[in-house]
Amino acid sequence: MRVAVVDIGTNSTRLLIADVDPDSGELEELVRRSQVTRLGDGVDAQGSLSEAAIERVLATLADYSAEIEAHECEANLAVLTSAVRDAANGADFAARVREDYGLDARVLSGDEEAQLSFLGAMSGRPAPSEPIVVIDIGGGSTEFVVGRGHKAGFHVSLPAGVVRMSERHIHTDPPAPSDLQSLAQDVHEVLLQGLPAEERGSVKEGIAVAGTATSAASIDQELDPYDPERVHGYQLTLGTVEMLLARLADMSEAQRREVVGLDPNRAPTIVAGMILLSESLRAFDLEQVEVSDHDILHGGALRLAGVD
pLDDT of 229 > 80? The answer is yes
Per-residue pLDDT at 283: 95
Over residues 192-200, mean pLDDT = 93
Whole-angstrom distance, CA of residue 70 vs CA of residue 185: 47
Closest CA to 111 of 144, 80, 86: 144
> Which range among 38-52, 83-97, 155-169, 198-212 shows the weakest confidence by mean pLDDT?
38-52
Predicted pLDDT of residue 25: 81
Residue 190 pLDDT more than 90? yes
Rounded Cα distance between 181 and 96, Å, is 40
High-pLDDT (> 70) share of the chain, % = 100
For the chain, the average pLDDT equals 91
Condensed to tens digits (0 to 9), the pLDDT of residues 132-173 reads: 999 999 888 898 999 887 778 898 889 899 988 999 999 999
Torsion of Cα atoms, 91 then 33 then 308 then 103, to 10°: 40
Phi, psi of 144 (to 5 degrees): -125, 130
Among 46-55, 98-107, 120-129, the range scoring the smallest mean pLDDT is 120-129
pTM of the model: 0.85
| Cα(85)–Cα(97) distance, integer angstroms | 14
**pLDDT reported for residue 43:** 77
pLDDT at 184 over 90: yes
Residues 253-273: what's their mean pLDDT? 95
3-state secondary structure 237-263: EHHHHHHHHHHHHCCCHHHHCCCCCCC
∠176-179-185 over CA atoms, to 5°? 145
Q: Is 64 exposed, middle or buried (0-12, 13-18, 19+ CB in 10 A)?
A: buried
- Please state, as a whole number, how many other Cβ atoms lie within 10 Å of the Cβ of residue 129: 10
Q: List pLDDT tens digits, range 230-256.
A: 999 999 999 999 999 999 999 999 999
Q: pLDDT at position 42, please?
A: 78
Report in angstroms the alpha-carbon separations of 274 from 46, 179, 269, 286. Answer: 25, 14, 9, 15
- The pLDDT of residue 176 is above 80: yes
Give the model's pLDDT for residue 23: 82
One-character DSSP codes across the chain: -EEEEEEE-SSEEEEEEEEE-TTT--EEEEEEEEEE--TTTTHHHHSS--HHHHHHHHHHHHHHHHHHHHTT-SEEEEEE-HHHHH-TTHHHHHHHHHHHH---EEE--HHHHHHHHHHHHHTTSPPPSS-EEEEEE-SS-EEEEEEETTEEEEEEEES--HHHHHHHH--SSSPPHHHHHHHHHHHHHHHHHHS-HHHHHH--EEEEESHHHHHHHHHHHT-SS--HHHHTT-EEEHHHHHHHHHHHHTS-HHHHTT-TTS-GGGTTTHHHHHHHHHHHHHHTT-SEEEE-S--HHHHHHHHHTT--
Domains, the chain, ordered by start: 2-110 (3.30.420.40), 125-291 (3.30.420.150)
Over range 203-215, report the average pLDDT: 93
Q: What is the pLDDT of residue 70?
A: 95
* Per-residue confidence (pLDDT) for residue 31, from 0 to 100: 94
More confident residue, 308 or 155: 155
- Residue 305: pLDDT over 90: no
Q: CB of 248 within 8 A of CB of 256?
A: yes
Query: How many Cβ atoms are within 10 Å of 65's Cβ, its own excluded?
Result: 20
